[in-house]
Structure 1
Amino acid sequence: MDAYKHVVYWHDTEPVTPRPPLRGNADYDVCVVGGGFTGLWTAYFLKEAEPALDICVLDARHSGYGASGRADGFVTPTVGKDIQALVDQFGPERALEASRAVGRSILEIGRFTRRNRVDAEYEANDYLMVATSPAQLRRLEGDRALAERMGAAQAAVMSADATRALVDSPAVLGGMRTGGALVNPFRLSRGIARVAEEKGVTLYDDSPCLRVEPGVRPTVVTAGGRVKADKVVLATNVHMDAFPPFRRKVVPVWTYAMVSEPLTDAQLARAGWEGREGLVEAKSLLTCARLTRDNRVLFAGGPVPYYFGRDKRQRNMNRPGVYREIRKEFLRFFPMWRDVRFSYAYGGVADVVRDFAPHFGTLAGGSVLYGYGYCGNGIAATHTGGKVLRDLALGKETDYSRLLFVDGPQRKPPASFPPEPALFAGVRAAARLMDWKDARA
């Protein structure tokens, strides 16, 4: 039996020296609440557009501690989890516009890391969406047909032999190559924070927001002080339920991953995988695998549980049954790696909204802005979202402020979830329904 560290693997790849917390009263043009990808990109893009703006970012712990630094590191052009619903609601042209905006973010993140010397382990390797059942093959064909309807180029679905020539997994029946990249999400978030700070953004660590007091200039209250600002940006993702307007808009579900010891050359040779593409199974509750810079294999999948009462406590890291299920899935894909030892087993919370797509917008006459709802697919989408929030904060009508992600006359905020105990029962039922639909795609 492997001895697991219930610590996020990425967090062990770079030491952290916390910045000082907020103490006393402060005044800023813009106060960003949340030091993850959404908040950091927003602060960075605002400072680039208007260098004179005085901007601060408040984080409850430190940049990259939360969901941003726990992601599996797939930088994909994903627009929510149900692109078909967005096509049906907004039409193929607007859905394609949003998809292309997120796709550009994949390339721009790479340029950002190179230009600013951020060693985020960025690899532009694409990723493989693979099928392990006839139903999943049909889903891949459906995704390709939808891309064609939208006017987007999409590679053909590959045969089992062609897919296994890239990653030699006996579970794979076919696959489709899609543009994307891999990244160390913790080092990326720490790098954005550094670059933003060098541009003049003030970052406060260990400064959890207790509440936002309304007003012409809202006030953000923390345990150690208060910030009055012209604009407040709420970018706390899964923790948006701490604010009254979003209390029942977001549900926290847990996702889990395991990371192995570095693989030997002999072990690597058993699977091929020379292109180091990310591997994603074509189903709603994703199973995915990738290699890290030092050739560890990261494998994520298995259950995506919701714990009663919106339980986000770190004790949920220690769930032996979940890791047994992940190990079982790992061996289904990679039976040739039965001797691979895992050293990290950890989890984190992702935000789920009713329509499975991101939302951005304004409240309180434009003085409070928000962005959330990535549903576990946020690395590229948060970069796009930072530009959306920049333009909303500056009051500019742009291609970004008009994207279908923005709440307004044509798009309403997501429907609310019910209170407990109906919420617990409903989320469990929804997960079973997704599995049923996946099996019959």
Structure 2
Amino acid sequence: MNAYKHVVYWHDTEPVTLGEPLRESVECDVCIVGGGFTGLWTAYFLKEAEPALDIRVVEANHSGYGASGRADGFVTPTIGKDIQALVKEFGLQRALDASKAVGRSILEIGRFARRNRVDVEYEANDYLMVATDAAQLKRLEHDRDLAERMGAAQPEILSRQDSQDIVGSPAVLASMRTGGALVNPFKLARGIARVVRDKGVTIYDKSPCLRVEPGVRPTVVTAGGRVRADKVVLATNVHMDAFPPFRNKVVPIWTYAMVSEPLTDEQLSRVAWAGREGLVEAKSLLTCARFTHDNRLMFAGGPAPYYYGRDKRQRNMNRPEVYRAIRQEFLRFFPMWGDIEFTYAYGGTADVVRDYAPHFGTLNGGNILYGYGYCGNGIAATHTGGKVLRDLALGKETDYSRLLFVDDERRKPPASFPPEPALYVGARAVARLMDWKESRA
């Protein structure tokens, strides 16, 4: 285990030059708290709509350091962990509208990268949702039936042989191809940051927000200065619990990944995987695999623990028991790659909310906005969310401001989680319950 590099692989793919921190008191039109995908896309779409806006972003570290730059890089049309519940609450049409909006974001992220010459290692090669047991096959069938009810394109469930012809894993019993793409999430975050800076957005690195003081013009306070703005956008995702209205709305769940050395031609030849699709197991606590741009193998999955006291400290990347579990899962899928050496082993936190779906909305009479709740599926959804927050900030009634993600008279914020120690006990019980339900699906 000591041979592993407990550094996020993506962070080693591009050097970072830090921007200046906030060291003064300033005023602006819009201040965005958080320089990850949600904050950056919001800044981008606001500048596209209203180029004259003075937009400032305060970021605790640097863009791409947090969850945005630690993602596995799957750009998927996911709108929540429980699509059946969303359909039940909002109806087929509104669920379909949300799904289509996020699906468009997959293509638009690729167009953004090409138009702005941002090398995000974009691969438009779909992903394969696979079943490795009867319960997961039933889940594929449920997803297919739901897609048919929603009037979406009807995916085909592929046989064991057809599935293994695409990805040659003996663990795969059936599969369903789903539209999507793969990216280097860190390069995407860094690229959006460069583009919005070029458009005139100011990003203050190393400027963690200490608090937001509400008012007619709310104020964002950091250790080095203050930003007073007409509108403040809270886009800190798993760190939303730092703000009183969201203190018990979000739980930080740790997810982990391992990345190998670049595979040799001989190693690559052992497994059919010519299309380089992303591989995702059909269960809530995902196991997934993919190639990186330089033919490393990323494998993620195993435990998704909650650590007592909402522990988000980086020391949790050093968890030998987690990496042993991931390695065991990897060998279940790819026993023919038993000699592959993994060199990177790392983790990060995903935000989980009670209804397992994103939330956007406004507070304080509309001059404080928020977006969070991606539950580990945010690359495409944050792009859509940036448009939602743009229209909410500009006070426009649009197709985006009417999406089911928006908290209004039709949809309430997610229910609160209990305080410790009940939260710790409950989080462990929920993980066991999800495993039990999926084994009986």
TM over 0.5: yes
After superposition, what is the alpha-carbon deviation per residue over 1:37-78, rounded to whole angstroms, capped at 9, x for unaligned?
Answer: 000000000000000100011100000000000000000000
Q: Secondary structure at the match of 2:157?
A: coil
Q: TM-score, normalised to structure 1's length?
A: 1.00
Aligned to 2:23: 23
Residue identity in the other structure for 1:71: A
Aligned to 1:383: 383
Task: Say if 1:312 and 1:349, in contact at 8 Å, map to a contact too.
Answer: yes
Q: How many Å apart are 1:272 and its aligned residue? A: 1.4
Aligned to 1:295: 295
What are the residue-to-residue correspondences of 1:271-350 with 2, within 5 Å? 271-350=271-350
Q: For 1:17 and 1:154, locate their aligned partners in 2 and report how far apart those are by CA, in whole Å.
A: 46
Q: Secondary structure at the match of 1:62?
A: coil
Residue identity in the other structure for 1:421: P
Q: TM-score, normalised to structure 2's length?
A: 1.00
Q: For 2:339 and 2:320, locate their aligned partners in 1 and report how far apart those are by CA, in whole Å.
A: 19
Q: Secondary structure at the match of 2:80?
A: coil
Q: How many Å apart are 1:168 and its aligned residue? A: 0.5
Q: For 1:284 and 1:81, locate their aligned partners in 2 and report how far apart those are by CA, in whole Å.
A: 7
Aligned to 1:179: 179
After superposition, what is the alpha-carbon deviation per residue over 1:200-255, rounded to whole angstroms, capped at 9, x for unaligned?
Answer: 10110000000000110000000000000000000000000000000000000000
Q: For 1:360 and 1:266, locate their aligned partners in 2 and report how far apart those are by CA, in whole Å.
A: 48
Moved more, 391-400 or 2-11: 2-11
Confirm whether residue 3 of structure 1 aligns to residue 7 of structure 2: no
Q: For 1:73 and 1:269, locate their aligned partners in 2 and report how far apart those are by CA, in whole Å.
A: 24
Residue identity in the other structure for 2:121: E
Q: Secondary structure at the match of 1:118?
A: coil
What are the residue-to-residue correspondences of 1:74-223 with 2, within 5 Å? 74-223=74-223
After superposition, what is the alpha-carbon deviation per residue over 1:166-190, rounded to whole angstroms, capped at 9, x for unaligned?
Answer: 1100000000000000000000000
Aligned residues: 441
Q: For 2:5 and 2:223, locate their aligned partners in 1 and report how far apart those are by CA, in whole Å.
A: 31
Q: For 2:156 and 2:125, locate their aligned partners in 1 and report how far apart those are by CA, in whole Å.
A: 18
Q: Secondary structure at the match of 1:212?
A: strand
Q: For 1:152 and 1:415, locate their aligned partners in 2 and report how far apart those are by CA, in whole Å.
A: 30
Q: For 1:140 and 1:90, locate their aligned partners in 2 and report how far apart those are by CA, in whole Å.
A: 22
Moved >6 Å (runs of 4+)? none
Task: Say if 1:260 and 1:342, in contact at 8 Å, map to a contact too.
Answer: yes
Task: Say if 1:182 and 1:278, in contact at 8 Å, map to a contact too.
Answer: yes
Confirm whether residue 56 of structure 1 aligns to residue 56 of structure 2: yes
Aligned to 1:43: 43
Q: How many Å apart are 1:155 and its aligned residue? A: 1.4
Residue identity in the other structure for 2:384: T
Q: For 2:434 and 2:270, locate their aligned partners in 1 and report how far apart those are by CA, in whole Å.
A: 33
Q: How many Å apart are 1:154 and its aligned residue? A: 2.7
Q: Secondary structure at the match of 2:413?
A: coil
Q: Percent of counterpart pairs with the same letter? A: 81
Q: For 2:405 and 2:154, locate their aligned partners in 1 and report how far apart those are by CA, in whole Å.
A: 23
**CA RMSD in angstroms, aligned pairs only:** 0.6
Residue identity in the other structure for 1:303: P
Task: Say if 1:5 and 1:345, in contact at 8 Å, map to a contact too.
Answer: yes
Q: Secondary structure at the match of 1:165?
A: helix
Q: Secondary structure at the match of 1:274?
A: coil
Q: How many Å apart are 1:2 and its aligned residue? A: 7.3
Aligned to 2:402: 402
Q: For 1:166 and 1:123, locate their aligned partners in 2 and report how far apart those are by CA, in whole Å.
A: 16
